[in-house]
Structure 1
Amino acid sequence: MKTVKRIRVPFIEGLENMTLQELDLAMEKSAAKFAVCENNWPKEAPYTPDCNGSIARTASHLAVMFHVRGLDLRATQLEDNGRSWEDSCCEFFVTDPYDGTYYNFELTCIGSLLSSKRKSRLDSVLREKEDVARVIRHSSLAHEETEISDRIFSWTVAMLIPYDLIGIDRDNVPVSVRGNFYKCGDLTAHPHFLSWNPIGTPKPDFHRPEYFGELILR
């Protein structure tokens, strides 16, 4: 039987106008918390860094924040829509509430973002860079190329996604959508593939909406 975790996403006014420090404090006080701790493929990738997150909503944006502590720091993608998943990366996938597709937002440790609209891993349309740029990003790290292995790092990233980029009408927010949160680093010295909601596939695969959890918006 599939596990379906649920989060009730609280409303917090004004998150999109905050600095990282202000956002971190507001999310710590009032956002819903989650842990990206499911190591679904321990034989392929035994390493499990610490990754905890929080989620909230405003009148116009969905806010997702991650706090990471673990080995290695890889940041090679300086531009948006690059190969984010190969770097030290946190990800948020969410379904469109109306058309059966889903959206992936793959945010590196330095704030570079990949996003697309998808029916599956292979059937996808990359978002225009102008749309990706509308996602507000924060990172505790400088936006510069880095690759360091076998040291412990702690870092924070956040993204605030305009509702229309995930198919939501801000004046008619659905009761819920389905989604999942991930932590990965395919080309780090200690590759890992963690999820919030468990995934029951034999090999690492985040592009499986049937294993998404539920995000309750109202």
Structure 2
Amino acid sequence: MFKKWSTLFFLCLLIAGCNPKTNHVDKTIIVKEIKFEGNPDIQQVSKLLDTNTESHAVDLVNWERFSYQPKVSFKIAHWNNNIWLKYEVVEDNILAEKTQTNDYVSKDSCVEFFFDPLGDGSYYNFEFNCIGTTHLAYGPQRKKRQFSNPDDIHKQIQVQSSLGSQPFAEKKGGHQWEITIIIPAESLAHNPQIQLKGLSSRANFYKCGDATSEKHYLSWNPVHTKKPDFHRPEFFGKLIFE
């Protein structure tokens, strides 16, 4: 009888969207397919996201020590085996010093997309500072990352920021910026031939700024750790691609 009830409880957790490993309810996004004739440029992608998708807030302050909360949201969709992503940010201070691909852009004003396409615990960490410098690696945990080739990143991933692409020291006084990103499936180099359409996956979305004067760590899906740690796939939410 106990075994029967345990099985029923586990099934109920799955139906409710609860992760039995962490005992919390995961958020879920149905990633809309936006059909378009041809290949839209990044400006068109930005407009298509604005007119066809809803915004999702990156607003969870998981650690009281880092209480500063900029206003952050994102929009996501897919088409032709490409992920379309747009972040919109309002924050007091902005910083953009990193210009080399795969540098520690998380020290700047940074948005991040951690994506586990197969839901097996191995994930890609896409990180972008506010001028579009990109950091991309893959692996099962923080200490076992395989960096993507910078040349491949430049050729495959498109990024456009409203702040341009030139570095700058920290600017105070309140700022608003947005960044649009096109991530083709081919950039998921450890999952060749993957098809996004119909894919059930896991992910989390973040905002951070390690070296800003108001250090902060926000997430879309809650992260239950004692100190800031985004490299925790057990706390990813669900992405289901139409």
**Both structures adopt the same fold (TM-score exceeding 0.5):** yes
Q: Can you list the C-alpha shifts for 1:10-68, whole angstroms capped at 9, x where unaligned?
A: 11134952243x3332111112421100010122x110000011000011210111000
AA aligned to 2:29 is: I
1:13 & 1:217 partners in 2: Cα distance? 13
Q: Residue 18 of structure 1 corresponds to which residue in structure 2?
A: 41
User: Is the contact between residue 149 and residue 188 of structure 1 (CA under 8 Å) also seen in structure 2?
Assistant: no
> Runs of at least 4 residues of structure 1 off by over 6 A?
none
- Higher mean alpha-carbon deviation, 158-167 vs 81-90, is at 158-167
- Higher mean alpha-carbon deviation, 92-101 vs 153-162, is at 92-101
1:54 & 1:193 partners in 2: Cα distance? 19
Cα 1:113–1:179 change in 2 (3 A) is: same
- State the secondary structure of the residue aligned to 2:137: strand
Cα 1:213–1:16 change in 2 (3 A) is: farther
Which among 22, 25, 49 is matched to residue 27 of structure 1?
49
AA aligned to 1:6 is: T
User: Is the contact between residue 149 and residue 189 of structure 1 (CA under 8 Å) also seen in structure 2?
Assistant: no
AA aligned to 2:227 is: K
* Unpaired segments ≥5 residues, structure 2: 1-22
- State the secondary structure of the residue aligned to 2:34: coil
More helix by share: 2
Cα 1:40–1:80 change in 2 (3 A) is: same
Asked whether 1:68 is paired with 2:89, we answer yes
Once the two structures are TM-superposed, the CA of residue 168 in structure 1 deviates from its matched residue by 6.3
1:10 & 1:101 partners in 2: Cα distance? 24
Which among 120, 131, 136 is matched to residue 158 of structure 2?
136
Once the two structures are TM-superposed, the CA of residue 165 in structure 1 deviates from its matched residue by 2.3
Q: How does 1:128-167 map to 2 (within 5 A)?
A: 128-133=149-154, 134-166=156-188, 167=191
* Unpaired segments ≥5 residues, structure 1: none
User: Is the contact between residue 185 and residue 195 of structure 2 (CA under 8 Å) also seen in structure 1?
Assistant: no
Cα 1:171–1:207 change in 2 (3 A) is: closer
- State the secondary structure of the residue aligned to 2:165: coil
- Higher mean alpha-carbon deviation, 175-184 vs 89-98, is at 89-98
2:229 & 2:196 partners in 1: Cα distance? 32
Q: Residue 56 of structure 1 corresponds to which residue in structure 2?
A: 77
Asked whether 1:116 is paired with 2:137, we answer yes
RMSD between aligned alpha carbons? 1.8
Cα 1:169–1:163 change in 2 (3 A) is: same
AA aligned to 1:142 is: G
Cα 1:126–1:16 change in 2 (3 A) is: farther
- Higher mean alpha-carbon deviation, 83-92 vs 136-145, is at 136-145
Matched residues, number: 216
Once the two structures are TM-superposed, the CA of residue 149 in structure 1 deviates from its matched residue by 4.0
Once the two structures are TM-superposed, the CA of residue 180 in structure 1 deviates from its matched residue by 0.4
- Higher mean alpha-carbon deviation, 117-126 vs 139-148, is at 139-148
